[in-house]
Amino acid sequence: MILRVVLFIAIFICVTAIIGNNLKREDEGPLMSLVYGLIVSWALAFAVGVPLIIMKKPLSLMRLILVVLYALLFATGVFSLVKRKRCNKDRGQITPFKSSEMIYLGLFLGIVAFQLYKTIFYAYADGDDAFYVAAARVAEASDKMYLTDAYLGTPSEILYRYALAPFPMWEAVLAQASGIQTTLLAHLILPPVLIVVTYIVYNEIGKLLFGVESREKRFMFLTLTAVFELFSNVSTSTSGTFLLTRARQGKEALACIILPLLFYELFRLVKAEGDITVKDFFVLLSTVLAASLSSLLGNILTSIMLAGAVLWMIIRKKRFKNMVIISAPVLISIMTVLLYIKLR
């Protein structure tokens, strides 16, 4: 079992990172590939999962389609990785770290390592797991999606409030594909990955705030964010509490990865004075779809953030075409909400 888990983690991280390589931009750190890989796999899980759930198709069909799509993106990811390696042969050396930078980086990594230790070796009793993890576990074992009451085990009508945000089904697909029980996957394997991904996003935001060269400030910033998350339990509703207690639920992914990533994307957009590339668009699209997978409210929150971006573009008199491009992913969110209103 341990061997299978280790093997799964290695394959999962490598495949996800290579898939994400398709969307990683030249100026971003290599770790962002992992973030984009996750976002893309969530986006596809939403796009594939929701129609199948509505049509009451089995989870194994969703798994099959997703595996094919992931394989295709993995192949294109390998291609773009090789291409990038060829083009960047003469990449500059990384400047040696100063002692102060080493201290702050060490502090940051130490705090994150402590958080990961607590996540792996300590259990957090969260009542919502009784639905989300159980729904995934039921789907993994029965091959049916949302047709069983997760709490009781009795047959049930589809609850569209949950079925239109099928994050647990993505976990169930991973469980079916890997042969690792959802319970183990959700409580032991995914949380450390999701926590690390949050800090990768924070690191990239740090680069935008302080500039790539100002490593000392960035590492100080990261250390402070790690402390901030550690002491964010002022209520059960803060994103920090979700990060360190529920890193297996769609809501956590929304609060701690998807919305910070959208913040980062909009930050880049504002820095680029509203100019948007094809990759930028696909990142935005994937982020919006991933938000839809994570929570029904995710549709509304991403729409509000993108509306904010459009408002900024109107005030700053940016190109109308770019406003349309940025708004386009919101259509999916609106359609999801309308679908929910119709089906519930």
Partner 1 sequence: MGRMLDNLRDYSGSGLLFVLLLISIVFLGFRVKRGAVKTMTVYLPIFVLAVFFCPLWGIYMGQENDGEILYRILWMIPAAVIVCYALIEAIHMVPEKFKAVSFVTAVLIVIVSGKYIYASPFFSKAENCYHVPQVVVDICDDIRVEGREVRACFPIEHIQYVRQYTPYVCLSYGRTVLLGNGFNQYSNVEQFLDEETIDTAGLVEELRRVDNHYLILESDRKMTEDLNKYGYIFIKTYDKYSLYLDEQAYLGTEYR
Quote the least distance from Cβ 297 to partner 1, whole Å: 6
By beta-carbon proximity to partner 1, the closer residue of 3 and 123 is 123
Fill in the per-residue mask, 141 to 180: x = in contact with partner 1 (CB under 8 A), - = not in contact. xx-----xxxxxxx--------------------------
Q: What torsion do the CA atoms of 58, 64, 67, 70 make, to the nearest 10 degrees?
A: -80
Out of 93, 95, 99, 235, the only residue in the binding site for partner 1 (CB under 8 A) is: 235
Cα-to-chain-centroid distance, residue 187:
17
Out of 267, 281, 282, 340, the only residue in the binding site for partner 1 (CB under 8 A) is: 267
Long-range contacts of 239-246 (CB under 8 A, 24+ apart): 243/194, 243/195, 243/198, 244/115, 244/118, 244/119, 244/195, 245/124, 245/126, 246/124, 246/126, 246/128, 246/129
By CB atoms closer than 10 A (0-12, 13-18, 19+), residue 126 is: middle
Distance CA 140, CA 142 (A): 6
Quote the least distance from Cβ 105 to partner 1, whole Å: 14
Tell which positions 32-61 bind partner 1, by CB under 8 A: none
3 contributes a contact to partner 1 by CB under 8 A: no
Side-chain-facing half-sphere of 119: CA atoms under 13 Å: 28
Tell which positions 82-141 bind partner 1, by CB under 8 A: 118, 120-127, 129-131, 133-134, 137-138, 140-141
User: Which residue bears the tokens 């992913």?
Assistant: 329
> Which range, of 64-72, 79-87, 257-265, 330-338, touches partner 1 by CB under 8 A?
257-265
> Which range, of 10-18, 267-275, 280-288, 331-339, touches partner 1 by CB under 8 A?
267-275
> Which range, of 34-42, 70-78, 186-194, 276-284, touches partner 1 by CB under 8 A?
186-194
257 contributes a contact to partner 1 by CB under 8 A: no
> Which range, of 71-79, 86-94, 264-272, 326-334, touches partner 1 by CB under 8 A?
264-272
241 contributes a contact to partner 1 by CB under 8 A: yes
Out of 38, 45, 259, 323, the only residue in the binding site for partner 1 (CB under 8 A) is: 259
Contacts of 34 (CB under 8 A, 6+ apart): 13, 16, 17, 20, 196, 197, 200
Q: Which two tokens stand for residue 219?
A: 């590492």
322 contributes a contact to partner 1 by CB under 8 A: no
Q: What torsion do the CA atoms of 105, 106, 108, 111 make, to the nearest 10 degrees?
A: 170
Contacts of 59 (CB under 8 A, 6+ apart): 139, 140, 143, 144, 145, 169, 172, 173, 176
> Which range, of 20-28, 42-50, 84-92, 249-257, touches partner 1 by CB under 8 A?
249-257
By beta-carbon proximity to partner 1, the closer residue of 80 and 239 is 239
By beta-carbon proximity to partner 1, the closer residue of 89 and 122 is 122
Out of 202, 207, 250, 290, the only residue in the binding site for partner 1 (CB under 8 A) is: 202
Distance CA 76, CA 66 (A): 15
270 contributes a contact to partner 1 by CB under 8 A: yes
